Structure 1
């Protein structure tokens, strides 16, 4: 990866639907050259996939919370979270808790219901999000020589 690939990644993270022609113009490459660089990064797994970022509050899910969760049934808990419409992120972590769960919900009551359902798998501490001054920030590649 070089500086040009870094620039391409930063632009794609900001403008995922940009055409290869416009992307090429922004980094001073031809459309075929920039397309080839993007294809190589996709093949290497640097670019995993493309997706729309949906604002939860715009689809009637204004409540966000993080749960620090401890369970002895890790695989069952992961399966449960995969099936849940409220769980949007699940991270295995170290320390007293073994999972960090991000939940989005319609109301505090529906959040409580989701927490109660998870409670069958273990214990949790809930942190309700008041605001999110930084969300979906770009990942800046580190270039190693």
Structure 2
């Protein structure tokens, strides 16, 4: 990865729907050259996929919480979380708890229902998000020399 690849990645993280022509203009490359670089990064798995960022509050899901969760039934818990409409992120972690979940829901009551359903798998600590001053920040790639 060189400086141009880094610039391309930074632009794509900000403007995922940018055309290859516009991307080429932003990084001072021709459209075919920038398209080839993006294709190579996709093939290497550096760019995994493209997605829209949906504002939860705009779709009537204003409650976000993180749950630290401890379970002895990890595979069953992962299966449960995959089927849940409220769990939007699940991370296996080290320490006292073995999972960190991000839950997005409509109300505190629906959050409580979700937590109660998860309770059959183990114990949790809930942290309710009051605000998010930094969201979806860009990853800045290191350059290989």
- Same fold (TM > 0.5): yes
Q: CA RMSD in A?
A: 0.4
| C-alpha distance in structure 1 between counterparts of 2:58 and 2:118, whole Å | 25
Aligned twin of 2:115: 115
Equivalent residue pairs, number: 145
1:46-125 alignment, distance < 5 Å:
46-125=46-125
Q: Give, in angstroms, the shift of residue 143 of structure 1.
A: 1.3
* 1:42-72 Cα shifts (integer Å, max 9, x gaps): 0000000000000000000000000000000
| C-alpha distance in structure 2 between counterparts of 1:132 and 1:123, whole Å | 26
Aligned twin of 2:44: 44
List gaps (5 residues or longer) in structure 2. none
* 1:81-129 Cα shifts (integer Å, max 9, x gaps): 0000000000000000000000001000000000000000000000000
Q: Give, in angstroms, the shift of residue 142 of structure 1.
A: 1.1
Runs of 4+ residues deviating >3 angstroms: none
TM-score (norm 2): 0.99
